[in-house]
Amino acid sequence: MSTSLTVSTPGRICLFGEHQDYLGLPVIAAAISRRVQVAGTHREDKTIHIALPDVDSSETIKLNGRIEYTKKRDYFRSGINVLQDQGLTFSKGLECSVHGTIPINSGTSSSSALLASWIHFLIRMSDQVPDWNRQRIGELAYQAEVLEFKEAGGMMDQYSTAVGHVIYLESTPQIHIEEMNPHFGSFVLGDSGEPKDTQGILGRLRNGVNAIVGKIRLVNPAYSLFTTSETETTEFKDHLTKEEYHLLKGTISNRDILREALNVLRAAELNHVHFGTLLSQHHRNLRDAQQISTPKIERMIGAALEAGALGAKINGSGGGGCMFAYAPKNADAVAQAIERQGGKAYIITVDEGTRVENK
């Protein structure tokens, strides 16, 4: 008798630390109540067939050793390869389908949520069925999405979607995750509908900051993004272009905003106003120093704040995609304000990580 299984994983918003994790700096992210699910059963042959009705497509994969990739970001195949590299085997094929409610290519980690669901599903349907926890699933999703294709991203997306709720993530000098569940109210996610060049923006900013640090270390070999204060960066101003100096100051400022936010989130009682103010401060750096916002997203953020949101920021790599606003008491009014600016609004809450839906 075939085993039927459904697994789902949330998308995520980055609260603090946008464009920090690939530099080795910490991030704070929250899983959201929009999810992607993988459902399916075993087949008697060695074929995996995946129906993708949301994008009117499908995938067919033959299980026969390590699988060759057929396209960029071939995540279904990379997920299988990463698990086979871990010693899992699949003596039967799979008949499955994927469905999601996370906006696609909009900065809410739809691809990472898909991969975490896919890997979680494959683990449960493998011959071994190892009892790996959510953090392990996040690690494997990072391997399948980033390391397999030598891409530029950090590991926030995979860990935050897999683990769920709110996480504080340090990746240097080693992985450290602190799970939190502050008593948030509602957020409003606003999708601008503008396409974005995720890899282009990640590459520009990662390479830009690394080049700045390289220049500074010619003067001060001990310079570190982890320890140098924003005030101390002024001594390197003459060694950088105006744009480089602003990018460096914005990066250090965002690091310090995250540290302040971590104290707010760890407090016994959440200060909702302070939390919202820090979101907006973070956004101003992302807009002015990292230069990743767009006129439409600025209008959506402005409208959300005028409608009573306590704070708002762009979400994800930027250059389009989504913003979100913290609106614990007036989410409906904020959503309407965002939609008047041409965005698609979703009222969301913080959600748990990857899970089996039909136990």
Take residue 98 and report the two structure tokens written for it: 């994927």
More confident residue, 104 or 334: 334
pLDDT at residue 152 in the model: 67
Of the pLDDT bands very low, low, confident and very high (cuts 50, 70, 90), residue 2 is low
Query: Is the pLDDT higher at 230 or at 192?
Result: 192
Q: Answer yes or no: is pLDDT of 271 > 60.
A: yes
pLDDT of residue 56: 95
Q: Give pLDDT, residue 182.
A: 95
Enumerate long-range contacts of 103-106, CB under 8 Å, 24 or more apart.
103/11, 103/34, 103/189, 103/191, 103/321, 103/322, 103/344, 103/346, 104/55, 105/195, 105/196, 105/198, 105/321, 106/191, 106/192, 106/196, 106/316, 106/320, 106/321, 106/322
pLDDT above 70: percentage of residues in the chain? 99
Q: Of 106 and 78, which is predicted with more confidence?
A: 78
Amino acid 359: pLDDT: 58
pTM for this prediction: 0.93
Please compute the mean of the pLDDT values over residues 310-332 and round it to a whole number: 95
128-142, 150-164, 285-299: the lowest-pLDDT one: 150-164
Class of domain 5-182: alpha beta
Closest CA to 72 of 149, 153, 155: 149
Q: Is residue 1's pLDDT more than 60?
A: no
Q: Does domain 188-348 have CATH number 3.30.70.890?
A: yes
pLDDT, tens only, 196-214: 887 889 889 999 999 999 9
Domains of the chain by residue range: 5-182, 188-348
